[in-house]
Amino acid sequence: MTTNAPIRVALLGCGVVGSQVARQLLAHAEDLRARIGRPLELVGIAVRDLSKPRPGIDPALLTADAEALVTRGDLDLVIELLGGIEPARSLLLAAIGAGASVITANKALLAEDGGSLYTAAEQSGVDLYFEAAVAGAIPIIRPLRESLVGDEVLAVKGIVNGTTNFILDRMHSAGVGFSEVLAEAQALGYAEADPTADVEGYDAAAKAAILASLAFHSRVRLADVDREGISLVSQDDIAAAKEMGCVIKLLANCSLSADGRIAVGVHPTMVPQGHPLAAIPGAYNAVFIESRYAGRLMFMGPGAGGSPTASAVMGDVVTAARNRVRGTVGPGESAYSARGITPPGEVESRYYVSLQVTDEPGVLAKVAARFADHGISLQAVRQDGDPVNSRARLGVMTHVAPDSDLRATVAELESLAEVGPGITVMRVEGH
Amino acid sequence: MTTNAPIRVALLGCGVVGSQVARQLLAHAEDLRARIGRPLELVGIAVRDLSKPRPGIDPALLTADAEALVTRGDLDLVIELLGGIEPARSLLLAAIGAGASVITANKALLAEDGGSLYTAAEQSGVDLYFEAAVAGAIPIIRPLRESLVGDEVLAVKGIVNGTTNFILDRMHSAGVGFSEVLAEAQALGYAEADPTADVEGYDAAAKAAILASLAFHSRVRLADVDREGISLVSQDDIAAAKEMGCVIKLLANCSLSADGRIAVGVHPTMVPQGHPLAAIPGAYNAVFIESRYAGRLMFMGPGAGGSPTASAVMGDVVTAARNRVRGTVGPGESAYSARGITPPGEVESRYYVSLQVTDEPGVLAKVAARFADHGISLQAVRQDGDPVNSRARLGVMTHVAPDSDLRATVAELESLAEVGPGITVMRVEGH
């Protein structure tokens, strides 16, 4: 191969992110050549619909035959921006098999079956990069894979889904309910027509699995993530959070337990106002890392959108292209720890529990006794009377306790005659 | 070389950071071996004083002959934690000449003569890594060198010196003067006995030069940085900042001007309360990056200290060791842009100007006319009378203007009979 031979790139998908990547490849050709040492050449773009107009993109590059594109045999890099499991997985495996390094933003695939991709890349001696899969433009994959690789990461927590952060933010500031804000987010293009992946936490859970894998050097999959979305978060919950000096965020939470297992979950969580994650606005993402030696680090930035995601893709493109020029590859999978997953019931958290009780002597003592029976100590209790109905609302903040003990306590509280239906429970960040 | 041959490491310097690096190399040997693919072996530590007790460190590793250590010829990695220009530079060049990859936390040397190190490393085919040189444990070098390498960075701003951030923080919260807080910081070990490098901004300026070089793909040296320390920041300045809804931070500011040149400076700067950098407390560091495609990113974490700095060093150690195992090297110098430096007088900023004036009709008009004569428009003006002395304090916030115009305006104001001595001027972050 001659010194100035171009690095040949194919693109799978030409939606919001794909078309932006194509534009950046063309607009910054000279800078990219200088940074890589050889020119990049975009040789083909696989799309579903050939007839759709794509301004600024040479129609001769387009093809509907993605498989033929990735197996043509002369590609250095394949960028996958299709999303979903299939045909993305088959196409990536075919590209790797044909000797191309691959760059993907596909969190669902990585969380479902990243191991197959890593193994194939290792066998073919090619790179697998995926900075854009988590937290958009925020460099978080590379810091975990490389910068912190000499340290011991203890926890990774973050706001990794902009749609739910936008919705919760609006629920706090505008005082309107989930459904109303969701409709608004859909109208603004911040939420999909089918919002399930975002609002039910699947997207955040996939990202949590990826972050936990890298942080703890162990394979973690989507199925390992204890997941809960935000569709049941009510204005009462928001009001209760405010009263406790907190805001509700959908938090991805990955931590290493004392016994070496990994706890990984996604839950609506009350975050105290002073916590750096409490102030992350709207469609922003933020990831908080706690490590043994580095201490507490936080990374924040735009979590989605065509340009920011394309920036992350392009960083990987340059890195993978530089590796090609040098005839080498970057870091592969690091899953040597092979840790177990802590069952959700054993994961510990602080909790806020809100219940309606009859306003009569001895009720608080009865409720408190149920917590004490399960070894759960209480950090704060608030009681607001409703004299007209002789009922009161009781808000209880616990100290850290295992999820199963909390659930058992709540089940017992539900059976008390003095406690009304509709006990709400929410995790609280912190110790 | 057999597959399990150790990666041989030498350490130059065994102070707070060096001894922590040595401890981590020994304590995490098994994890490091798994992450690298081969074991790390610490073969020697060069120190100035052999007789000093060093708990947990095998005295047989110690040597006072650093030159003999780095030229022994069988080293894979040399970690330089001596600081200062010499003998650090000669030792690093000797290590590189002998075929070792080098890791350094030496911001002064990198800002003074990083080009020589890069060139030597390129010629010898070895790595030069320096994540620990800027912002301690915060991964900022690698994101700039690799994650954002497909983007166009427009500006990098940050709080990169923990000592001055601690001092300014205390001046704001405790209401005491610079000298008193400096003495306190020295007593707590947050400031050196000779605090010049920190309080006069040399340390931050070296880091600014390094950040600007990486961000803009061009060599930027310490001498290119327009530098001002915090020793002249007064309680009056703090009070004025509070009145304007700002806090004073020592800000490193690197930006790309419209003509493609680089503006790089370190100045005490008023930062509006809502800006993410305003909230960075005490000894923390934070770096804010603005890029064309990724948008605004922020990174924060501990900016100094033995463990955090050692974490950054160890990340580089693992990365450089992995490269050795693969027989490759990471990214080299990227200075192809070869941009000019904007002269300090042409750099634009908002300014706050505070002056004492006689409290009589027409003074404000006269002062305002001087700004207008230089084409500087005013964003806000505050006048506080002092009826006893018939004097008033005038605080003026300008829109963005070139530094030279601002200085010329201030010189003219000083010559006005109605204006008292001691005009204070401070930059204000934002547009």
Each residue of B218-232: pLDDT tens digit?
A: 999 999 999 999 999
- For a pLDDT cut of 90, what percent of chain A falls above it? 88
User: Cβ neighbours of residue B185 under 8 Å, at least 6 residues apart?
Assistant: B163, B166, B167, B170, B191, B195
Task: Please indicate whether, in this complex, the C-beta atoms of B217 and A308 are within 8 angstroms of each other.
Answer: no
The CA distance from A131 to the nearest CA of chain B, in Å, is: 8
Torsion, Cα A351 A352 A356 A358, to 10 degrees, reads 80
Q: Does A333 score more than 50 pLDDT?
A: yes
Closest CB to A151 among B34, B292, B311: B311
Q: How far is B318 from chain A (nearest CA, A)?
A: 6
Same domain, A117 and A55: yes
* Residue B336 included in any domain: no
Helices of type H across A244-300: none
Residues in contact with B204: Cβ distance below 8 Å, sequence separation at least 6, in sequence order: B160, B161, B164, B227, B250, B252, B266
CA A169, CA B423: separation in Å to the nearest integer? Answer: 44
pLDDT at A387: 67
From residue B3, give the alpha-carbon distance in Å to each of A74, A348, B98, B324: 32, 43, 22, 12
Q: Exposed, middle or buried by CB within 10 Å (0-12, 13-18, 19+), for A376?
A: buried
| Same structural domain, A262 and A169 | yes
CB–CB of B329 and A334 under 8 A? no
Same domain, B65 and B180: no
Residues from chain A contacting residue B28 (CB–CB below 8 Å): 150, 152
Is the pLDDT assigned to residue B1 strictly greater than 50?
A: no
Give the pair of three-digit tokens for residue B20.
């922590």
* Mean pLDDT score, B11-31: 95
Assigned domain for A335 exists:
no
Contact A150 B328 (CB under 8 A): no
Q: Is B79 helix (H, G, I), strand (E, B) or coil?
A: strand
Site of tokens 């603004």: A188
Q: CA–CA separation, A346 vs A338, rounded Å? A: 19
CATH number at residue B117: 3.40.50.720
- Residue A19 inside a domain? The answer is yes
Q: Are A32 and A149 part of one and the same domain?
A: no
- Calculate what percentage of chain B has a pLDDT beyond 90: 88
The verdict on residue B109 lying in a domain is yes
A154, A222: one domain: yes
Using CA atoms of A215, A322, A35, A137 in order, give the dihedral in degrees to the nearest 10: -30
Q: What is the average per-residue pLDDT within A167-186?
A: 94
Residue type, B47: V
Nearest CB partner across the interface for B302, out of A35, A294, A328? A294
CB atoms within 10 A of CB B223: 11
pLDDT of residue A305: 87
- Mean pLDDT score, B327-349: 95
Phi-psi region of A39 (alpha: psi -120 to 50; beta: other; left: phi over 0): beta
Q: Report, as an integer, the average pLDDT of A117-128.
A: 98
B328·A328 Cβ contact <8 A: yes
HSE-up of residue B108 (Cα within 13 Å, Cβ side) = 15
Measure in Å the smallest separation between the Cα of A116 and chain B Cα atoms: 20
How high is the pLDDT of residue B2? 53
Greatest mean pLDDT range, A51-60, A78-87, B384-393:
A78-87
Reported as a pLDDT band with limits 50, 70 and 90, residue A1 is very low
Query: Residue B416 pLDDT > 90, yes or no?
Result: yes
What confidence score (pLDDT) does residue B64 get?
97
CB contact under 8 A, B307 and A297: no
Pairwise CA distance, residues A409 & B35, whole Å = 43
* Torsion on CA atoms B336, B341, B342, B345, rounded to nearest 10: 170
Partners of A291 on chain B (C-beta within 8 Å) are 137, 311
Name which of B32, B131, B305 is nearest A147 (Cβ-Cβ): B131
Residue that finishes a domain, picked among B326, B358, B386: B326
Q: How many domains does chain B have?
A: 3
Tell me what pLDDT residue A396 has.
95
Q: Are residues A288 and A319 in the same domain?
A: no
Chain A nearest C-alpha distance from B203 (Å): 21
The pLDDT of residue A377:
96
Q: Report CB contact under 8 Å: A143, B143.
A: yes
B272/B33 Cα distance (integer angstroms): 47
Active-site residue (options: B52, B107, B157, B207):
B207
Q: Which residues on B lie below 8 Å from A299 (Cβ)?
A: 297-299
Across the interface, whether the CB atoms of A336 and B150 are under 8 A apart is answered: no
* Whether residue B120 is found in the same domain as residue B268: no
Nearest-Cα distance to chain B for A125, in Å, is: 11
Q: Which of A52, A107, A157, A207 is catalytic?
A: A207
- How many CB pairs lie under 8 A apart between chains A and B? 181
Residue in A closest to B313 by C-alpha: A150
Is A237 within a domain? yes
Domain-terminating residue out of A326, A359, A382: A326
CA A130 to chain B, closest CA, distance in angstroms equals 11
Q: Closest Cα partner for B182 from B116, B239, B233, B240?
A: B233
Same domain, A168 and A115: no
Specify if B78 maps to a domain: yes
Q: How far off is chain B from A276, nearest CA to CA, in Å?
A: 10
Interacting residues of B55 by C-beta distance below 8 A, sequence separation 6+ = none
Over residues A209-265, the pLDDT tens digits come to 999 999 999 999 999 999 999 999 999 999 999 999 999 999 999 999 989 999 999
* Structural domain includes residue B333: no
Chain A residue numbers touching B310 (CB-CB < 8 A)? 293
Domain range holding A11?
Answer: 7-137+306-326
Are the beta carbons of A35 and B149 separated by less than 8 Å?
Answer: yes
Structure tokens at A195: 């919002």
User: pLDDT tier at B417 (50, 70, 90 boundaries)?
Assistant: very high
On whether both A88 and A62 belong to a single domain, the answer is yes
Q: What is the ipTM of this complex?
A: 0.92
What CATH number did the domain enclosing B236 receive? 3.30.360.10
Averaged pLDDT of chain B: 94
CB contact (8 A) between residue B308 and residue A331: no
Which amino acid is present at A253? N
Of B28, B295, B337, the CB nearest to A308: B295
**Mean pLDDT, range A31-41, rounded to an integer:** 96
Q: A152 to chain B: which residues are within 8 Å by CB?
A: 28, 31
pLDDT band at residue A2 under the 50/70/90 scheme: low
Rounded distance between C-alpha atoms, residue A427 and residue A413, angstroms: 18
For residue A389, the domain's CATH number is 3.30.70.260
Q: Is the pLDDT of residue B387 over 70?
A: no
Assess whether pLDDT exceeds 50 at residue B85: yes
Both B421 and B399 in a single domain?
A: yes
B9, B30, B126, B146: which to substitute to probe chain A, counting the most A Cβ within 10 Å? B146
| A131 and A151 housed in the same domain | no
Interchain CB distance below 8 Å, B294 and A308: yes
The pLDDT mean for chain A works out to 94
Is pLDDT at B390 greater than 50 in this prediction?
yes
Q: Do B142 and A138 touch (CB under 8 A)?
A: no
- The set of residues, in sequence order, having a beta carbon less than 8 Å from that of B175 and lying 6+ positions away, is B235, B238
Q: How many CA atoms, within 13 angstroms, populate the side-chain half-sphere of residue B217?
A: 19
Query: What is the pLDDT at residue A76?
Result: 98
Contacts of B146 in chain A (CB under 8 A): 142, 315, 318-319
In a domain, A334, yes or no: no
Contacts of A322 in chain B (CB under 8 A): 331
CB contact under 8 A, A315 and B147: yes
- Nearest by CB to A295, from B32, B301, B334: name it: B301
Handedness of CA A335, A338, A344, A350 (dihedral sign): negative
Shortest CA distance to B34 belongs to which of A123, A337, A330? A337
Q: Is A242 a catalytic residue?
A: no
Residues of chain B with C-beta less than 8 angstroms from the C-beta of A327: 328
Same domain, yes or no: A25 and A116: yes
Q: Locate the chain B residue with the closest alpha carbon to A151.
A: B311
A323: nearest Cα among A150, A111, A128: A128
What pLDDT does residue A189 have?
85
